């Protein structure tokens, strides 16, 4: 397996585009709204998992010395000989490394790259939105009280009050602001697209 960074961002954008196309197609089918919301949840989950995969795949490739399409490569503190060794190095003290938490990715980047580049500054700038996406992800994937409370906190923060029966799917399909048509799902997708393009320049 070659450490090519351009393929990593292409795969992320492929997953995003196919998920967006699915939602746009579903909206034209006249399905009950609850079904559209469920499909929106699954599409979002697929996008967020693709984002996690992007972070892991780009991190590993940078760690073995790969360059971005523009020729950028961060200064490394370690020099693993291949990607398999890099994966084992990152997950040395646990079964697997988590990539859904921006603070964990930042901490990891500071261990392996000088100044935590390119992850630290970019993820710090998008920390709130990515943490919000993670709350939505967890509410979809886990029906725990903790995930429910965090999602409800997000709803209250965004709308100024709690909304009884608000599901992640309905939230994602709701316009972020009353004076514009950009729904939360599209807003979050743009955050991921922008951050990923800055990481793999």
What is the secondary structure of 66-130 as a DSSP string? ---TTS--PPBS---SSHHHHHHHHTTTSSS---S-HHHHHHHHHHHBGGGTTHHHHHHHTHHHH
- Give the bridge partners for 183, in sequence order: 175
Residue 111, both tokens: 């261990």
The one-digit pLDDT tens for each residue of the chain (201 residues) are 456 799 999 999 999 999 999 999 998 999 999 999 999 999 999 999 999 999 999 999 999 999 999 999 999 999 999 999 998 889 876 667 789 999 999 999 999 999 999 999 999 999 999 999 999 999 999 889 999 999 999 999 999 888 988 999 999 999 998 777 899 999 999 999 999 999 998
The pTM assigned to this predicted structure is 0.93
């Amino acid at each position: 397996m070659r450490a090519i960074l351009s393929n990593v961002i292409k795969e992320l954008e492929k997953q995003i585009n196919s998920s967006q196309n699915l939602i746009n197609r579903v909206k034209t089918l006249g399905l009950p709204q609850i079904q559209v919301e469920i499909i929106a949840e699954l599409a979002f989950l697929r996008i967020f998992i693709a984002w996690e995969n992007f972070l892991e795949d780009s991190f590993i490739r940078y760690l073995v010395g790969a360059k971005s399409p523009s020729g950028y490569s961060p200064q490394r503190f370690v020099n693993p000989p291949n990607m398999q060794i890099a994966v084992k190095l990152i997950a040395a003290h646990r079964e697997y490394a988590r990539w859904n938490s921006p603070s964990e990715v930042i901490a990891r980047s500071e261990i392996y790259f000088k100044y935590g580049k390119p992850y630290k500054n970019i993820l710090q700038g998008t920390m709130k939105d990515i943490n919000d996406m993670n709350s939505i992800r967890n509410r979809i994937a886990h029906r725990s009280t903790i995930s429910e409370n965090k999602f409800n906190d997000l709803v209250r923060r965004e709308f100024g009050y709690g909304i009884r029966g608000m599901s992640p799917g309905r939230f994602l399909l709701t316009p972020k602001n009353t004076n514009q048509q950009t729904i939360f799902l599209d807003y979050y997708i743009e955050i991921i697209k922008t951050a990923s393009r800055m990481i793999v320049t």
